[in-house]
Amino acid sequence: MPLTTCPDCHREVSTEALACPGCGRPMKAPEAHAPAGVRYESAPLVVKAAKSRGVFIILGILLGLLGIHNFYAGYYGRGAAQLIITLLLGWIVIGIVITGLWVLVDLFTVTNDADGNAMS
């Protein structure tokens, strides 16, 4: 097995290695080891913005009867249910009572968004 020298850490590395075991520097592209006709593609990097628990609580206090806080956290089904209950039953007090109690429970119990990420 032939060896080569890593340009960064000057360690002896196999010519078959994809990266230097000493410093992690890429030694050759994965395409060089791919069978004929096979092409590797890198996966896209996905960056998600963290949801704020403070914003969730403020939205719940101000617009909770419309379910806006749940839409913010990604719970679209809950948000739609709260919006529909408020719009259909809000003209009688029971709709506002049901949704208001639901909002209070949400504000104290929901700590993760719909993707399971903790709200900061």
Torsion angles phi and psi, residue 27, rounded to 5: -95, -35
Distance CA 111, CA 56 (A): 9
Give the pLDDT mean for 5-22: 82
| b/e code 25-64 from CB counts within 10 Å (16+ = b) | eebeeeeeeeeeeeeeeeeeeeeeeebebeebbebbeeeb
pLDDT digits (tens, 9 = 90+) for 62-78: 999 999 999 999 999 99
Give the pLDDT mean for 46-55: 87
pTM for this predicted structure? 0.62
Check: CB of residue 41 under 8 Å from CB of residue 57. no
Beta bridge partner(s), residue 118: 112
